[in-house]
Structure 1
């Protein structure tokens, strides 16, 4: 019996010893050989990585935003009325009355912005219309009147006689972020409202369209086709952050790039049209452009982003605030300014006499100045490609003349911009011009076949005369 107990104790101790040896030597060796974990000190080529699980909130719900906006986007039909006979048969034998000669000239979308029937759309949707028909998502049709347009921004304001309509509230387009989810809502081809989804691909996008007032678009990859022009770009809260305006495509159909006028700019245009009947543009009073590698190298600048000030207009808000040539504008009202379209996009949402805070870089040091925006007044002589503006007393004095308007911009590539810009026009077609209203009167009063004779004083104080036919 004693031998049996002794044998049992020896067996148990042997098993414990064997299991302990396995755990201590064999298992540890297997683990260390299958999961090598070199330290960063041992490996100079170590690449840091983070595998922590995160919830990025990609499961955005668009249903509420879509339901709240589709009934506020309308179909806009541009109807042209023929004033004369449409074919030789009608000319010789008569036909239907002229009032019956109608045809659809164009169509697009529009956004109801007030319950009493104000609608925003694109200018190119309604341009040249004799009549405008607006169809709501519930198939009700109204005749619309044009309240006003702004061709430079491609925005038009319409009005229908209705009450209690669904509308989309304006959001703050300055708060739009890259990668943010957006919906493009349109009413193309009178198929009732349609919704597409995408993200904000870029902000302050300049399409280089040579417009008088540079544009600053929101770019999105939400599908927008021609019939969606004038429709709404909304965030997931159902707020209007843009008016869909353009696409970039060789085929004329959507290929991934679509652009919208920011809501802050559209809202300012609408407010101006409702209050003044036209758009009142505020300006800083500078000339310049985005910093480029060439400019940075030539001027030996430390900054690589911002707007370079090449010239300051006499009497402007910029001059009064102390902004100088060679300054670099970095921020306006804490909005980062990386390129010229950032600046124009923000300033175009402001009114004359608004005050803005400008952060600029001068001699390597940042400083902040307050600028009161001045009113942009200019007239474009389209047929010859010149934009003229009222000249200040200082500018007239420097050219030794008592009257005239200055050449503000050259809008044609075949004209010598450096030689003409800034010169003072004193006469057009032998009539004195003292302001842009005189220029408009002379140009609008001439026959289309008449030449345009421009007399101007150049920078050397000499009178020049150019005839455009």
Structure 2
């Protein structure tokens, strides 16, 4: 029991820290979506399908509600970058999705059905471009046996150390969640933030967006 309690306490601490870096994106829909603070000066990462208007309202973990501007969007990757006027924001340390392997424990944080900072967990099923039921092969995905719901999209998928290893994106079946791998996220940000004007693309996916 002592070991289990220690593990529980450690995970609770990790989750509490990560939750401070998760924002709620409000665009008028009931479930809205989530976002992850990528940089302390106000750069926020989310899914492209979450941002259906510009600007949008962002609720921070400290209760502030700010207006965010869309600065980059890629529909094929289903990623978008937003900016708010703020500094000193808490960020999640990026991990390395290339080091993930089947069986590792991961967790997803988001706002399913409007419930803020809800957490779900499971193990990695696989990582790669060719995942069952996915029609997009231009980037890496992380597939895990955890439940994602409307409002989880754009939120972080993290490892047990609280490092970002993916951006929650869709469900491909009962209890199977899919995230854009963090190494694809890094590539998106590197290219999109150096590009002018903002690049807008469209893409398709076989799963159900959350």
Q: TM-score range by the shorter chain?
A: 0.7 to 0.9
Equivalent residue of 1:276, what SS?
coil
Matched ranges for 1:226-241 at <5 A: 226-241=150-165
1:110 corresponds in structure 2 to 35
Equivalent residue of 2:185, what SS?
helix
What whole-Å deviation, never above 9, does each CA across 1:305-345 have from its counterpart, x for those lacking one? xxxxxxxxxxxxxxxxxxxxxxxxxxxxxxxxxxxxxxxxx
2:206 corresponds in structure 1 to none
In structure 2, C-alpha distance between the alignment counterparts of 1:193 and 1:263, rounded to whole Å: 20
Are residue 272 (structure 1) and residue 191 (structure 2) matched? yes
What whole-Å deviation, never above 9, does each CA across 1:132-157 have from its counterpart, x for those lacking one? 11111232111110011111110000
Equivalent residue of 2:165, what SS?
strand
**Deviation, structure 1 residue 277:** 3.9
Equivalent residue of 1:64, what SS?
helix
In structure 2, C-alpha distance between the alignment counterparts of 1:214 and 1:197, rounded to whole Å: 26
Equivalent residue of 2:86, what SS?
coil
Instruction: Quickly say closer, same or farther: Cα 1:105–1:186, change in 2 above 3 A.
Output: closer
Contact 1:150–1:279 under 8 Å retained in 2 = no
Instruction: Quickly say closer, same or farther: Cα 1:174–1:277, change in 2 above 3 A.
Output: farther
What whole-Å deviation, never above 9, does each CA across 1:430-450 have from its counterpart, x for those lacking one? xxxxxxxxxxxxxxxxxxxxx
Q: For 1:256, which of 151, 167, 175 is the aligned residue?
A: 175
1:126 corresponds in structure 2 to 51
Are residue 76 (structure 1) and residue 25 (structure 2) matched? yes
So what's the TM-score if we normalise by structure 1? 0.39
Contact 1:109–1:228 under 8 Å retained in 2 = yes
Where structure 1 has 5 or more consecutive residues not aligned to the other structure, the ranges are: 1-58, 80-103, 250-254, 281-378, 383-469
In structure 2, C-alpha distance between the alignment counterparts of 1:201 and 1:143, rounded to whole Å: 37
**Deviation, structure 1 residue 214:** 3.4
Contact 2:41–2:86 under 8 Å retained in 1 = yes
In structure 2, C-alpha distance between the alignment counterparts of 1:68 and 1:105, rounded to whole Å: 26
**Deviation, structure 1 residue 187:** 2.6
Instruction: Quickly say closer, same or farther: Cα 1:147–1:192, change in 2 above 3 A.
Output: same
- The structure with the largest helix share of the pair is 1
Equivalent residue of 1:202, what SS?
strand
In structure 2, C-alpha distance between the alignment counterparts of 1:214 and 1:272, rounded to whole Å: 14
- Runs of 4+ in structure 1 displaced over 6 angstroms? none
Matched ranges for 1:329-340 at <5 A: none
Contact 1:150–1:278 under 8 Å retained in 2 = no
Matched ranges for 1:155-194 at <5 A: 155-194=79-118
1:82 corresponds in structure 2 to none
Query: What's the RMSD between the two structures over aligned residues?
Result: 2.7
Instruction: Quickly say closer, same or farther: Cα 1:134–1:146, change in 2 above 3 A.
Output: same
Equivalent residue of 1:167, what SS?
coil
In structure 2, C-alpha distance between the alignment counterparts of 1:191 and 1:118, rounded to whole Å: 23
Equivalent residue of 1:144, what SS?
strand
Instruction: Quickly say closer, same or farther: Cα 1:189–1:134, change in 2 above 3 A.
Output: farther
In structure 2, C-alpha distance between the alignment counterparts of 1:207 and 1:277, rounded to whole Å: 35
